[in-house]
Amino acid sequence: MVRKPLSKSANKYLRKYRKWPHSPYKTFWHQNFGEQQAMQILKRETMAMSSPKQDPHVNFDKPFLLSTLIDSFKAYSCDPTPKAYYFVIKTLAQKSQFQEISPVLDHIEGEEKFETPEYILSYLIRSYGFAGKVQEAIDLFYRMPKFRCTPTVCSLNLLLSVLCRNREFLKMVPEILLNSRLMNIRIEESTFRVLIKALCRINRVGYAIKILNYMIDDGYNLDVEICSSILSSLCKQKDLTGSEVLGVWEGMRKLGFCPGVMDYSHAIRFLMKEKRGMDALAIMNQLKEDGFKPDIVCYTMVLSGIIAEGFYSKADELFDELLVLGLVPDIYTYNVYINGLCKQNKVNEALKIIASMEELGCKSNVVTYNTILGALFEAGETNKAREIMKGMRLKGVGLNLHTYRIVLDGLVGKVDITGACALLEEMLNKCFHPRASTFDNIILEMCQKGLVTEALDLMKKIVAQNFAPGARAWEAILLHSGSQFTFSETTLSLLINPK
């Protein structure tokens, strides 16, 4: 039997029949193993650099990590990988050793041949931005093609976000955008989004709205998230009027923007600050027309606004409406509505509301009672106000400074000096001070009734708490001293110069 020649039929992948056998150091497995070992050496030397006491023989010259990287890969006869360079750059950036990054970049540009991944340079741009090295970030962006890296819109957006973080560098954005076209970077919708969000973050909402208009003119769709960011920032501005905000609001709705519940809340809250309750009510009606159900917070804000403008009948309708919708008023809602009733001198109705809300488990707080007490004293019902105040104490509701001032002003207004002095003593024990005008009236009434000595004692107590009585109080003491002038003069001198 004649056998066929081995040269024609044998397996060419067998080392026996290959003309040039594979080198054991050129296989993928060996190359991968060498790269792993080199990375381990690099990481070990990096740890030694962070704790030099453990290894006194480590060289800490400026290019230490770069030389370590090159030597570790050279020891295993393989070229440094982009991953290794990324590790070095990341380590130096985290340690804020930016001066040592320049030699690494120069080596990548001049010595290496691989195409540098964009994520490495993007990370460095971001690090430069956080470190305040904006010019270095710009230079690196323009230098990206020298690293055999094709910059994309991702790098552009990252650089723009760095520039827009500071007002000082905003003027450089147009130049960057123009140069990006020369670098064949196509501006996408994400670029507009980055610019608008960054401008909103630094309260340059006017520029953000202009960019939004350019974005729409270029054929991009209206982005809901961008519009929400603009509205949120717009409502935080202190130098804008409600008309300007409403103009932007209506303009966005005409473009097809469908606001969310939070957008409506921001707009209503801003209009409340501008004391435009009826406009806030109109916005809430749009909210309902768009299929959303306002919550109790929204109703409370609008209710407060229309009561402040004096539309009490509309407030009654709104309160009935929220009850029909099944919303449960909280203490803030009740306090707003009770305030509206008290402004209309409907104190009895306000007391009925308090009784009904407590039956439903919503306890009155000090704000509720302050509103009622103020209305009762204004209506001249002093005895009823005393009963309310007594009820507060029984229910464990603590009196605050505003409560004391309301009651004290009411007692002084009714010339109840005895009750006012007793309440003032209680205030001083709690380190609460009355209004200066109220205290002057008390001293004046005491002096007119011949209680000059008691008035002087009261002056001592309140001056000891660093309270400065008004000129009327001092004048009343001097004018009504009479035969006690010598005593009064001595006492007054001690009050003025206690030391």
Is residue 302 a contact partner of residue 281, using CB atoms and an 8 Å limit? yes
Confidence of residue 485 (pLDDT cuts 50, 70, 90): very low
Confidence of residue 8 (pLDDT cuts 50, 70, 90): low
Within a domain: 274: yes
Within a domain: 240: no
Within a domain: 161: no
Confidence of residue 330 (pLDDT cuts 50, 70, 90): very high
Which residue would you say has higher pLDDT here, 28 or 144?
144
pTM over 0.85: no
Neighbouring CB atoms inside 10 A of 379's CB total 14
Does residue 306 register a pLDDT over 80? yes
State residue 50's pLDDT score: 58
State residue 59's pLDDT score: 43
Residue-averaged pLDDT of the chain: 83
Does residue 25 register a pLDDT over 90? no
Within a domain: 462: no
Within a domain: 223: no
Share of the chain above pLDDT 90, in %: 28
pLDDT 10s digits, 207-256? 888 888 888 877 777 778 888 888 888 788 777 787 888 888 888 888 78
Does residue 19 register a pLDDT over 70? no
94-98, 475-479, 487-491: segment of lowest average pLDDT: 487-491
Task: Provide Rg for the chain, Cα atoms.
Answer: 39
The residue range of the domain holding 267 is 259-327
Within a domain: 220: no
Which residue would you say has higher pLDDT here, 488 or 469?
469
Which residue would you say has higher pLDDT here, 499 or 222?
222
pLDDT (mean) for 76-103: 90
How many Å apart are CA 271 and CA 243, to the nearest integer?
Answer: 9
pLDDT 10s digits, 286-299? 999 888 889 999 99
Within a domain: 278: yes
Is residue 78 a contact partner of residue 38, using CB atoms and an 8 Å limit? yes
State residue 116's pLDDT score: 93
Which residue would you say has higher pLDDT here, 23 or 112?
112
Which residue would you say has higher pLDDT here, 255 or 484?
255
Neighbouring CB atoms inside 10 A of 471's CB total 9
Within a domain: 4: no
pLDDT 10s digits, 155-197? 999 999 888 877 788 888 889 988 998 899 988 888 888 888 8
State residue 415's pLDDT score: 79
How many Å apart are CA 311 and CA 39, to the nearest integer?
Answer: 75
How many Å apart are CA 232 and CA 221, to the nearest integer?
Answer: 20
Pull the structure tokens for residue 238.
């202190």
pLDDT (mean) for 77-98: 90
Q: How many CA atoms lie within 13 A of 57 on its CB side?
A: 0
State residue 56's pLDDT score: 44
Does residue 487 register a pLDDT over 50? no
DSSP calls for 350-417: HHHHHHHHHHTT----HHHHHHHHHHHHHTT-HHHHHHHHHHHHHTT----HHHHHHHHHHHHHTT-H
Residue type, 73: F
pLDDT (mean) for 27-41: 76
Would residue 438 be called left, alpha or beta, if left means φ above 0 and alpha means ψ between -120 and 50 degrees?
A: alpha
pLDDT 10s digits, 42-65? 888 877 765 544 444 444 444 578
Residue type, 333: T
pLDDT 10s digits, 100-114? 899 999 999 998 899
Q: How many CA atoms lie within 13 A of 347 on its CB side?
A: 17
State residue 486's pLDDT score: 46
- Domain total for the chain? 1
Would residue 176 be called left, alpha or beta, if left means φ above 0 and alpha means ψ between -120 and 50 degrees?
A: alpha
pLDDT (mean) for 133-154: 93
